[in-house]
Amino acid sequence: MTGFMNSNKETIDKAYSIGSIKTCIPSPLMLISYNTWNELCKRFCTHGLDKHLASTASSTPTPEFAKTGSLVVMWLYATVSPKLVDMVLDPDVSAFDILDHLKKIFHDKKIAASCN
């Protein structure tokens, strides 16, 4: 169990050691850059944070998982346009839920056109 705790602490330390996600994803998500943005987010969320982007996340997260999940949610909000934040902002949403909602927005041309 100690190995897991050290690994989890290392994950959190690595996650918080990055000063700003905007240095890695400098442009906010807009209609023309969804695929690029999505790929950059997935690559940015390494060191165990990628599990927050999967639908298989535990329904009863540990405090550490909830903490890192909140960080990933903040990163996602920080990298999308203000109009899109308004469309996906929810205090009880997970990172996976945000990605899923954004994917649906960008695959529904009627909704996507309103983001311009």
DSSP 8-34: HHHHHHHHHH-S-GGGTS-S-B-GGGH
Q: Are 95 and 72 in contact (CB under 8 A)?
A: yes
Phi first, then psi: what are they for 108, rounded to 5°?
A: -110, 100
Alpha-carbon span 75 to 72, nearest angstrom? 5
Phi first, then psi: what are they for 29, rounded to 5°?
A: -60, 125
Q: pLDDT of 70-81, one tens digit each?
A: 888 888 888 888
* Domain count along the chain: 1
Q: Which domain holds residue 77?
A: 2-113
For residue 31, pLDDT beyond 60: no
pTM for this entry: 0.66
